Amino acid sequence: MSSSYELLQRCYNSVREKIDFKPQIALVLGSGLGDYAEGIQIQATLDYHEIEGFPVSTVMGHKGRFIFGYVKGVPVVIMQGRVHYYEGYSMEQVVLPIRLMGQMGAKVLFLTNASGGINWDFQAGDFMLITGQIASFVPSPLIGPNIEELGVRFPDMSEIYRKDLQNIIRDTAKRLGILLKEGTYIQFTGPAYESPEEIRMARALGADAVGMSTACEAVAANHMGMKICGISCVTNLACGITDQPLTHAEVKETADRVAPLFKQLVTESIVMIDQEMKRG
């Protein structure tokens, strides 16, 4: 057994000693959805620092927690406060909460984030269904001895964002009258926003939106066989598209402005995904 798996098991056992809740869907909250959990029926919460073995060397333990509860009757575990590579965590630490949620029994991983729009057709405030990703600019969370208990050494990545889940989210957005763009998400390490040259490069590579999270989480989740879907909130146009400098305040402002719609889209998508899983 690898030491990574041992750590994961230690964390898992620690969670299970405190909470016996079996989620169907794991939801990661990005900017703008931070207070999503306020609108759901909460059963329990667990701060990361309460989990034995959880790497909480710096600030992680204070900002992150799992929320267990029901979204319109669907059992979910919500990750409030994700950890980013730019904060100094290893990629293995970054994806640990994702792996834990998979171990708790979540079959589906629903990823959300804030991003900069690269595609010329995008506007600040748009939602983008993530249909694919470019993770090659950040280290893989799978580097190191393979955790055989989770997945294979060389996992297939041909359909990270499941087509069936994409269809459900598309249909849901249409039904709600919410405009949903779609495209490829590219992850860079951050924390600096990109230069105009980097955005030109990303566009040439086929990316539609850029951010500092998500793709690594999707790689780890796909490795362990979770079904993944994701929606990105395009909070700003990426660097170089306008001549405005980028600020975190702008990102936050847009995310907060469209949060009510984002929440609605996520909630209704979760309900439809759960129904489909029950059928399938």
Residues in contact with ligand HPA by CB under 6 A are 114-116, 193-194, 210-212, 235-236, 238, 246, 251
**What amino acid is encoded at 202 in this protein?**
A
Among candidate residues 106, 236, 255, 268, the one labeled active-site is: 236
CA distances to 7, 12, 148 from 112, rounded to whole Å, are 26, 24, 28
Residue nearest ligand HPA, CB atom distance: 116
Q: What tokens appear for 171 in the block?
A: 């249909």
Instruction: Report, in Å, the least distance between residue 237 CB and ligand HPA.
Output: 8
Task: Return the percent helix, strand and coil in the chain, to nearest 5.
Answer: 40, 25, 35
CA distance 106 to 84: 22
Does 213 participate in catalysis according to the annotation?
Answer: yes
Query: Is the Cβ of residue 47 or residue 253 nearer to ligand HPA in the bound state?
Result: 253
Q: At what angle do helices 248-279 and 163-176 cross, to 10 degrees?
A: 110
Whether cis (ω within 30° of 0) applies to the bond prior to 191 is yes
Among candidate residues 52, 87, 250, 253, the one labeled active-site is: 87
Instruction: Report, in Å, the least distance between residue 243 CB and ligand HPA.
Output: 15
CA distance 186 to 72: 32
Among candidate residues 213, 222, 232, 269, the one labeled active-site is: 213
Instruction: Report, in Å, the least distance between residue 208 CB and ligand HPA.
Output: 12
Query: Is the Cβ of residue 25 or residue 238 nearer to ligand HPA in the bound state?
Result: 238
Instruction: Report, in Å, the least distance between residue 212 CB and ligand HPA.
Output: 5
Among candidate residues 12, 31, 135, 202, the one labeled active-site is: 31
How many H-runs (helices) and E-runs (strands) does the chain carry?
7, 9
Q: How many Å separate Cα 3 from the centre of its chain?
A: 25
What burial class does residue 57 get, using C-beta atoms within 10 Å of its C-beta: 0-12 exposed, 13-18 middle, 19+ buried?
A: exposed
Does 236 participate in catalysis according to the annotation?
Answer: yes
Does 114 participate in catalysis according to the annotation?
Answer: yes
Among candidate residues 37, 79, 91, 114, the one labeled active-site is: 114
Query: Is the Cβ of residue 222 or residue 254 nearer to ligand HPA in the bound state?
Result: 254
Instruction: Report, in Å, the least distance between residue 262 CB and ligand HPA.
Output: 14
Say which residue the tokens 């060389």 belong to: 154
Among candidate residues 2, 5, 52, 86, the one labeled active-site is: 86
Query: Is the Cβ of residue 128 or residue 160 nearer to ligand HPA in the bound state?
Result: 128
Q: What tokens appear for 167 in the block?
A: 């269809």
CA distance 193 to 86: 12
Instruction: Report, in Å, the least distance between residue 3 CB and ligand HPA.
Output: 32
CA distance 115 to 235: 6
Query: Is the Cβ of residue 99 or residue 203 nearer to ligand HPA in the bound state?
Result: 203
Does 86 participate in catalysis according to the annotation?
Answer: yes
Query: Is the Cβ of residue 21 or residue 122 nearer to ligand HPA in the bound state?
Result: 122
CA distance 119 to 124: 11
Q: Which residue numbers are catalytic?
A: 31, 62, 84, 86-87, 114, 212-213, 236, 248
